[in-house]
Structure 1
Amino acid sequence: MLVFRTAGIEVAPWIPPLVAFVISFFTSMGGVSGAFLLLPFQMSVLGYTDPSVSATNQLFNIVAIPSGVYRYWKEGRMVWPLTWAVVAGTLPGVFIGAIVRVSYLPNPKHFKLFAAAVLLYIGLRMVQDLHKNKAGAHTKADAEKKFREMVRRHRAQGAQAGQGTAEALPKVKVTHFNMRRLGYTFYEEVYDTPFWGIFALAFIVGIVGGIYGIGGGAIIAPFFVTFFGLPVYTVAGAALMGTFVTSVAGVAFYQGIAPFHPNMSVAPDWLLGVLFGFGGMAGMYLGARCQKYVPARAIKWMLAGIILFTAVKYVAAFFGYS
């Protein structure tokens, strides 16, 4: 057993990386680092409920995310203008969120209720998206099927030509990017979205992510798919990269304000965060590699189920039913 002094817990050193690996493998397919599920594990299973758990969660993002981003970049599925718009919006929000967490939500019981509200909203939005627009369901399914068929075809062609799969896959091509609109093409489909809509969403998500300690990817990825109609195959990389940058800022901010709160655990538990990060690094890389072979609908149903289960559990615990 290993003692983590900042977190105030004792746990076998192989458990954090294993748990992070399993979570990140599945969640990274939807453009989510897995931090939104890792935080409930730390609070409910490990008993780590101090405000520093949010910073530790963001430290996990810093270590784990680069492998997933690298894979999406290598396969040409990074929409960089979308990524930087997300970063610009979430950075100021994450600082506000960190202050709110330390000043107004240090109580574990109240924070769990806040966490439940965030998870419920995310989960219900995803379920609503899966059920609405049934008239277009076949079109979306056909598009996803068409994409997977292209992946298989290019993989076969690449093998015959002596190329890797990533080099043979279709790439994202940005058609326009300015202060009003962002547009790009991917697999013969054209996507166009308002810049300020993305920025405003990112700012709000930054605040929530700064409080919760998730960087915001778990919230912003479903919004991109639901409200802006962007494909999960291109959103995932941008959401992960945005989460990485904002997590760096979040950890630095929590560490910086720690001396002003000497009676409270605010700075991250570096050892625990790094162990989680190593497991998440492997899980995200494999998840990003496998995502193109898994239907986007299946990914969203999986995430929605896990999110809602965790949220209901927290609400029940708050009212004394578990």
Structure 2
Amino acid sequence: MAEVLLALVAGFVVAALGTPVGVSGAVFLLPLQAGLLGVSGPAISATNLVFNAMSTPLALARSAAARARTADLAIVTAACVPAAALGAFLRVTLFADPARFRLLVLAVLAPLGVQLLVRAARRTPRRVTGAGDDAPPLNPFTLTALVLATGAVGGTIGIGGGSVLAPILVAVLRQPVRRSAPLALTSTLSTSLTGLIAYTLFDTLAVGTPPASPVWHIGIATGLGGIAGALLGARTAERAGERALVLILGTSATATAAMYLVQVAG
């Protein structure tokens, strides 16, 4: 019972932090899964995806989804399916080794987090009042390639494609947070649903290193907390300035990378 209550609280907090910037907040759950909730192996990634699958739909519905182009949303949805399946396969094989897994998290999150923090420190604060329609449209081929790569990485780590996609859209492609958020949340949802199916099949068929199936009671508890947190986070997004949103996103990525750096060094 204690671990279920802890999972509920953890899900609420991470969703409240992540929703305003288009990520599920699952990046924070990675160290909690192994350190406090007793989940081990590739099941850590799969259990995170349960949280994403439950908390993301409400966050997406409450976000400014209408501000994302329909064609971009379709590209993200379709590309995440093969990417997530590949990511799950890599997690139960190549990245089943804990040391390799930690290095992957560091390699993905550390540079993106630092870049976003630098950007937040340099830019002039402004209110997020528009849809970001003055920003250049995304090239469909660039977006497809980016979603395939981030979806595979997100499926491997178990944070959903959006947690990797959002920082790149904002920091590298200079997209407004309000346009990037629905694309990132769509990526997270598509990656999570596909990844859950893939992890469960791999476990059933004894592919790779077990355990791969999610720990359902932990995942469901974090997901229920995430639904409430997503509601709060969506309201926060309506009032926050873009500088604050970028700062939250950069901090979340950097903090998680720092946790894994400590584990690798130890």
TM-score between both structures, scaled by the size of structure 1:
0.76
1:295 corresponds to which of 224, 241, 247 = 241
- Please state how far the C-alpha of 1:84 moved relative to its aligned partner: 1.6
2:223 equivalent in structure 1: 277
Q: Which amino acid aligns with 2:100?
A: H
Q: 1:192-231 residue pairs with structure 2 within 5 A?
A: 192-231=137-176
- Please state how far the C-alpha of 1:128 moved relative to its aligned partner: 4.2
1:38 equivalent in structure 2: 29
- Please state how far the C-alpha of 1:17 moved relative to its aligned partner: 1.2
Q: Could you tell me how far apart the structure 2 residues matched to 1:34 and 1:220 are?
A: 13
Contact 2:177 2:245 in 1 (8 A): no
Q: Does 1:54 align with 2:29?
A: no
- Please state how far the C-alpha of 1:46 moved relative to its aligned partner: 2.5
Contact 2:83 2:191 in 1 (8 A): no
Q: Deviations over 1:240-284 (max 9, x none)?
A: 122111210100011111122287211111221111111111111
1:80 equivalent in structure 2: 70
Contact 1:68 1:285 in 2 (8 A): yes
Contact 1:67 1:282 in 2 (8 A): no
SS in 2 for 1:90: helix
SS in 1 for 2:136: strand
Q: 1:241-260 residue pairs with structure 2 within 5 A?
A: 241-260=186-205
Cα 1:26–1:248 shift into 2, 3 Å: same
Q: Could you tell me how far apart the structure 1 residues matched to 2:3 and 2:43 are?
A: 20
Q: Does 1:104 align with 2:91?
A: no
Q: 1:40-189 residue pairs with structure 2 within 5 A?
A: 40-72=31-63, 76-130=66-120, 137-138=123-124, 141=125, 144-145=126-127, 147-148=128-129, 186=131, 189=134
1:179 equivalent in structure 2: none
Q: Could you tell me how far apart the structure 2 residues matched to 1:277 and 1:293 are?
A: 25
Show structure 1 runs of 5+ residues with no match. Answer: 2-10, 149-169, 171-185
Q: CA RMSD in A?
A: 2.1
TM-score between both structures, scaled by the size of structure 2:
0.91
Q: Deviations over 1:82-131 (max 9, x none)?
A: 22212222221111111111011222233223222222133123234335
2:256 equivalent in structure 1: 310
Q: Could you tell me how far apart the structure 2 residues matched to 1:119 and 1:227 are?
A: 14
Q: Which amino acid aligns with 2:53?
A: I
Aligned-pair identity (%): 31
Which protein has the bigger strand share?
Answer: 1
Aligned length: 265
Contact 2:24 2:56 in 1 (8 A): yes
Show structure 2 runs of 5+ residues with no match. Answer: none
SS in 1 for 2:137: strand
Q: Could you tell me how far apart the structure 1 residues matched to 2:116 and 2:73 are?
A: 21
Q: Which amino acid aligns with 1:114?
A: L
- Please state how far the C-alpha of 1:47 moved relative to its aligned partner: 3.6
Contact 1:84 1:242 in 2 (8 A): no
